[in-house]
């Protein structure tokens, strides 16, 4: 952005707020500082030093946690001498008969979509941090990853575990299993990933 | 200005450009069907929210009894057992927030259509809250899944999900789609055109 090039149109230096459409000249934002829309307060640019590497590290960690947490029990219950524990796969497949479509939706929301998003993010970022040209279809991959964001609900499921625990604590002895702790870590990491990611910086580096 | 901005990567292009040169998203200065889509999803969401409250969310079978609880019924039962805190959380999460979301989305739609007493900043904040909270309503469906998979203690107690869980999930999905269809740039258009009210009511 520092050297003006005449073969690209002059609009490349402008940005429009995605929420309210106010147009700015893209400012040079220092590391750890944020450019915020003056009208609607949406964060526009928020670059972080080595964000790419940290994002890949976070994404890999979360991916491993999701895969592992899928199979381990997340809660176990004991009452009257009986004992039962449940994994995420069991939780997803409790919806039977006419409700079975909900099983598939739950599996997508808490396992498949979050995992796909992270794989796409790693695929997009890996060449960028090594200063290589973007991977083939990197723009489509990042676009898909971004549009899946609202449908990735692993962290909501983690809070759901806590609610279920509170609900049942009067009736039975409920204990967190290994997957519940994995999901607790996952909530923190998902929030960290969101704070670290500067979409503008990623799009700008895919543009070069 | 003869320009169009990309809502995904913020790139600015000349108006008439169909595809964003930076990220490849389809470009539209404003989505002309934004409000139609918002209302269509809104109605579907509301349509599913009603059966979600009529049918049972959970069916609990114990040694002595079988009990079906609707969303509100379950909260009332909890309150009768003295669990006021949990009952309140359930009421807020599954009744107050979804209902408030329907009102907020309707308010945003009406606000674009015929102006609003709220300032653009306030309406934008409202939109951001609705968009952020939307997905968190799914927590109810997950809690039902967790409870049903966990409480499988043969004769002692079993919990199975009721029909309302599907309607509730659909209602959450439809309201999320409604919020996503809302083009937030429409809120700010009225700020630049104070004569808009007269335009729509000749």
pLDDT tens, position by position, A148-202: 999 999 889 888 888 888 888 777 888 888 888 888 898 899 889 988 999 999 9
For chain A positions 107-126, those within 8 Å of chain B (CB to CB) are 109-110
Q: Does residue A38 belong to the interface with chain B, where contact is any CB pair within 8 Å?
A: no
Q: Which residues of chain B have a CB within 8 Å of the CB of A169? A: none
Confidence of residue A131 (pLDDT cuts 50, 70, 90): confident
pLDDT tens readout for residues A14-38: 999 999 999 999 989 998 899 999 9
Starting from the edge strand earliest in sequence, which strands make up the sheet with B66-69, in order? B66-69, B58-62, B157-161, B152-153
Q: Which residue has the higher pLDDT, A165 or B122?
A: B122
Residue A117, pLDDT above cutoff 90: yes
Residue B162, pLDDT above cutoff 70: yes
Measured CA distances, A195 to A18, A34, A52, A58, A199 (Å):
18, 11, 12, 12, 11
HEC string of chain B equals CCEEECCCCCEEEECCCCECCCCCCECCCCCCCHHHHHHHHHHHHHHHHHHHHHCCCEEEEECCCEEEECHHHHHHHHHHCCCHHHHHHHHHHHHHHHHHHHHHHHHHHHHHHHCCCCCHHHHHHHHHHHHHHHHHHHHHHHHHHHHHHHCEECCCEEEEECCHHHHHHHHHHHHHHHHHHCCCHHHHHHHHCCCHHHHHCC
Q: ipTM strictly over 0.90?
A: no
Q: Which two tokens stand for residue A32?
A: 């750890």
Mean pLDDT of chain B: 88
Q: Which residues of chain B have a CB within 8 Å of the CB of A9? A: 14
Choose the weakest-confidence range: A90-104, B74-88, B123-137: B74-88
Residue A208, pLDDT above cutoff 80: no
pLDDT tens readout for residues A78-89: 877 778 888 888
Q: Cβ of B8 and A146 within 8 Å?
A: yes
Confidence of residue A103 (pLDDT cuts 50, 70, 90): very high
What is the Cα–Cα distance from A109 to A56, expressed in whole angstroms? 21
User: Which residue reads 């997950």 in tokens?
Assistant: B142
Q: Does residue A58 belong to the interface with chain B, where contact is any CB pair within 8 Å?
A: no
What is the Cα–Cα distance from A75 to A175, expressed in whole angstroms? 6
Q: What is the pLDDT of residue A7?
A: 42
Residue B114, pLDDT above cutoff 90: no
Whether the CB-CB separation of B141 and B168 falls below 8 Å is answered with yes
What is the Cα–Cα distance from B142 to A157, expressed in whole angstroms? 6
User: Which residue reads 């940005």 in tokens?
Assistant: A15
Q: Cβ of B176 and A150 within 8 Å?
A: yes
Residue B198, pLDDT above cutoff 50: no
Q: Which two tokens stand for residue B156?
A: 């002692």
The closest alpha carbon to A31, from A14, A54, A57, A13, belongs to A54
- Beta-carbon neighbour count of residue A19 at 10 Å? 22
What is the Cα–Cα distance from B12 to B108, expressed in whole angstroms? 26
The closest alpha carbon to B87, from A158, A166, A174, A176, belongs to A166
Q: Does residue A84 belong to the interface with chain B, where contact is any CB pair within 8 Å?
A: yes
Q: Does residue A16 belong to the interface with chain B, where contact is any CB pair within 8 Å?
A: yes
Q: How confident is the model over B145-163, as a mean pLDDT?
A: 87
Mapped onto helix, strand or coil, the DSSP state of residue A177 is coil
For chain A positions 134-193, those within 8 Å of chain B (CB to CB) are 139-140, 142-143, 146, 150-151, 153, 156-157, 159-161, 163-164, 166-168, 170-172, 174
Whether the CB-CB separation of A84 and B155 falls below 8 Å is answered with no
What is the Cα–Cα distance from A95 to B146, expressed in whole angstroms? 11
Task: Give the one of A39, A40, A160 whose C-beta lies nearest to B143's C-beta.
Answer: A160
What is the Cα–Cα distance from A5 to A14, expressed in whole angstroms? 14
pLDDT tens readout for residues B15-67: 889 999 999 999 999 988 999 999 999 999 999 999 999 999 988 888 888 88
Q: Which residues of chain B have a CB within 8 Å of the CB of A159? A: 139
Whether the CB-CB separation of A50 and A159 falls below 8 Å is answered with no
Q: What is the pLDDT of residue B193?
A: 54
Q: Cβ of A98 and B166 within 8 Å?
A: yes
Q: Cβ of B157 and A17 within 8 Å?
A: no
pTM score, whole prediction: 0.89
Q: What is the pLDDT of residue B1?
A: 60
What percent of chain B lies above the pLDDT cut of 90? 53
pLDDT tens readout for residues A58-79: 999 999 999 888 888 888 888 7
Residue B191, pLDDT above cutoff 70: no
Judged by phi (left if over 0) then psi (alpha if -120 to 50, else beta), residue A192 lies in alpha
Choose the weakest-confidence range: A14-18, A90-94, B121-125: A90-94
Residue in B142, B155, B190 to test binding to A, most A beta-carbons within 10 Å? B142
Q: How confident is the model over B154-177, as a mean pLDDT?
A: 91
- Beta-carbon neighbour count of residue A27 at 10 Å? 11
Question: CB within 8 A of B104, min separation 6: which ones?
Answer: B126, B129, B130
Whether the CB-CB separation of A86 and A73 falls below 8 Å is answered with yes
């Amino acid at each position: 952005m520092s050297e003006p090039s005449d073969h690209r149109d002059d609009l490349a230096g402008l940005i429009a707020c995605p929420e309210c459409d106010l147009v700015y000249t893209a400012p040079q934002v220092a590391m750890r500082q944020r450019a915020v829309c003056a009208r609607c307060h949406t964060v526009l640019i928020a670059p972080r030093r080595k964000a790419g590497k940290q994002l890949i590290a976070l994404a890999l960690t979360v991916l491993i946690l999701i895969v592992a947490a899928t199979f381990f029990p997340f809660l176990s219950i004991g009452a009257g001498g009986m004992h039962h524990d449940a994994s995420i796969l069991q939780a997803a497949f409790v919806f039977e008969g006419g409700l079975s479509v909900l099983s598939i939706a739950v599996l997508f929301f808490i396992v498949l979509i979050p995992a796909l998003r992270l794989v796409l993010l790693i695929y997009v970022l890996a060449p960028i941090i090594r200063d290589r040209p973007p991977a083939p279809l990197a723009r489509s991959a990042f676009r898909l990853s971004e549009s899946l964001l609202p449908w990735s609900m692993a962290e909501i499921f983690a809070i759901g575990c806590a609610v279920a625990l509170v609900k049942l604590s009067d009736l039975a002895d409920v204990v967190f299993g290994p997957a519940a702790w994995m999901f607790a870590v996952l909530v923190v990491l998902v929030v960290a990933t969101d704070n670290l990611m500067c979409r503008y910086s990623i799009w700008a580096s895919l543009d070069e | 200005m003869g320009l169009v901005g990309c809502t995904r990567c913020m790139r600015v292009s000349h108006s008439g450009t169909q595809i964003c040169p930076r990220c490849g998203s389809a470009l539209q200065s404003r989505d002309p069907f934004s409000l139609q889509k918002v209302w269509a999803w809104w109605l579907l969401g509301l349509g599913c929210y009603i059966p979600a409250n009529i049918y049972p969310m959970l069916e609990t079978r114990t040694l002595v009894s079988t009990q079906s609880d609707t969303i509100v019924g379950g909260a009332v039962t909890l309150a009768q057992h003295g669990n006021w805190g949990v009952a309140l959380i359930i009421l807020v999460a599954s009744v107050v927030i979804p209902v408030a979301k329907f009102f907020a989305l309707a308010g945003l739609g009406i606000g674009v259509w015929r102006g609003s007493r709220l300032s653009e900043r306030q309406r934008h904040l409202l939109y951001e809250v609705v968009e952020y909270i939307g997905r968190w309503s799914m927590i109810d469906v997950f809690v039902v899944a967790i409870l049903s998979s966990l409480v499988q203690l043969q004769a002692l107690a079993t919990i199975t999900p009721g029909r309302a869980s599907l309607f509730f999930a659909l209602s959450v999905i439809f309201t999320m789609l409604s919020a996503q269809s809302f083009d937030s740039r429409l809120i700010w258009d009225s700020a630049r055109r104070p004569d808009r009210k007269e335009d729509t009511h000749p």
